[in-house]
Structure formats: C-alpha cells, structure tokens
C-alpha cells in the first residue's frame, strides 16, 4: 500500500503553532513588561522558543533580540546571561531545525522500513514538507546567513542529516546487490529534493507549472535516481 507523507507526519502543525504563539505575544504586549512570565531556569529555553517563532513569522532578516525579549516578556539584558549575541541564538535555532528535519526523515524510515525505495521517497517528501511548513527557517538553515554555516553546532547537525540519507541509500544499494557509491547517489537525491524544495517555497512552480504534484515528482525522481 502506498503511504502518504501526511500519514507519517508527527503530531501538530508547527507553522500554525508558531503563528498562534507570535499572535498571542503581540496581543499581550500592552506596553508593560511581563517580568514574572518565566522563571530564571527556563529563560534560555523561552528565548530560543521566541526566536524560532519570530523567525517563522517574520524571517531571520527581520529578527532582533529586542523582539525576542518583548515576546518572552523579559528585559533586553536577559539574553546576555545565556547567549553571547544574536548569532548564537540563531545558531541554536538552526541546529534544532536540522534535528527536527532528521527526526522527520527518521520517522519516515521507521514507517516504510530501512533501506527501501518507499522509505527514501518518504524522506524526500518529509524534506519538502519541512521546507513548505518552515520556509523562513529552511532558508536560514541553508545559507541565508553565511556565518551560520560555519558554526560548529550547525555544521554538525546539517552533516548528520546528510549522513542519515547516505546510510539509507547504502542499505538500499546493498539490498539490490549493486556496487555503486552511496554517497554519490545520495548527493544526487539531495540535490534534486533540495532544489525542488527551494522552487516550492519560492512559488516558482506556481509560475511555470500551476497545480504540479510535487509529492509525485519527488517519488518519480527518487525512483529514477535510485535506478529502481
């Protein structure tokens, strides 16, 4: 039976939750500072959550630490107890974005079975779904801020996503009894799926192919690249 990515997705719509959270923060901002909103112990996490929600809603290019403080209801000095600067908090948001992307692809493999064509197809659909639900975070993760790509925690998390794809492709090739380089095949897959994701979130497909079934396109391209 063909499994759809919608059946695989983990519970909750991150995009809607982030938008609701930002809207709630804006409605609560009546000009008075909510100093008691968070205990000191969870302030760091609250600021990370605020940054993630604001990046989702406004884009990283419009994000400021002052916005995050206002959202979290803390003073503008509060972030510097936990982060060296704005860059560090964005690095953490990117790291968690890659961790979420890897978790989504791992869940796809869990559903369809390791090293199978369907698992790799579902991984591709998980990737495009992540991009379409978190376009601003996706852009940030993949180079909107060039300094982030060189940050150790971001590079490690991103490399982990690619390594997991290579692992699944290697299992697939092994099951097929072939002698191809799994890294080379995985890079072909990533190149296509990443490009498709960018075209999707920038609405370029809407201009040249309205109504295109991107899920079917990912399935077909994955099958062709894998030679299955």
**In the structure, what pLDDT confidence band is assigned to residue 27 with cuts at 50, 70 and 90?**
very low
State yes or no: pLDDT of 14 exceeds 50.
no
Cα separation, 78 vs 151, in Å, equals 23
State yes or no: pLDDT of 40 exceeds 70.
no
Q: Could you tell me if 189 and 165 are in contact, meaning their C-beta atoms sit under 8 angstroms apart? A: yes
pLDDT tens string 63-108:
999 999 999 888 899 888 889 899 999 999 999 999 999 999 999 9
Give exposure, 195-208, as e/b (b: 16+ Cβ within 10 Å): ebbbbbbeeebeee
pLDDT tens string 178-205:
989 999 999 999 999 999 999 999 999 9
**In the structure, what pLDDT confidence band is assigned to residue 151 with cuts at 50, 70 and 90?**
confident
Task: Give the domains, in start order, of the chain with CATH numbers.
Answer: 14-87 (no CATH), 91-226 (1.10.357.10)
* pTM of the entire predicted model: 0.82
Can you spell out the DSSP letters for 11-79? SS-HHHHHHHHHHHHHHH-SSS--TTSS-GGGHHHHHHHHHHHHHHHH-GGG--HHHHHHHHT--TTGG
State the first-to-last Cα distance of the chain, in angstroms, to the nearest integer: 17
Tell me the average pLDDT across 136-157.
84
């Amino acid at each position: 039976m063909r499994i759809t990515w919608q059946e695989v997705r983990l519970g909750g719509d991150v995009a809607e939750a982030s938008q609701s959270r930002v809207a709630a923060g804006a409605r609560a901002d009546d000009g008075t500072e909510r100093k008691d909103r968070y205990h000191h112990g969870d302030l760091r996490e609250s600021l990370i959550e605020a940054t993630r929600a604001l990046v989702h809603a406004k884009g990283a290019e419009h994000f400021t630490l002052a916005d995050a403080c206002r959202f979290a209801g803390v003073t503008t000095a509060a972030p510097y107890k936990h982060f060296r600067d704005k860059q560090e908090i964005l690095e953490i948001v990117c790291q968690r974005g890659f961790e979420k992307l890897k978790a989504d692809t791992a869940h796809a493999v869990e559903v369809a079975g390791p090293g199978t064509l369907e698992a790799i197809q579902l991984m591709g659909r998980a990737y495009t779904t992540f991009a379409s639900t978190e376009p601003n975070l996706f852009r940030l993760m993949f180079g909107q801020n060039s300094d982030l790509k060189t940050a150790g925690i971001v590079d490690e998390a991103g490399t982990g996503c690619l390594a997991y794809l290579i692992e699944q492709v290697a299992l697939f090739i092994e099951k097929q009894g072939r002698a191809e380089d799994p890294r080379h095949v995985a890079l072909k897959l990533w190149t296509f799926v990443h490009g498709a994701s960018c075209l999707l979130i920038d609405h370029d497909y809407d201009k040249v192919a309205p109504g295109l079934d991107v899920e079917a396109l990912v399935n077909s391209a994955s099958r062709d690249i894998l030679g299955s």
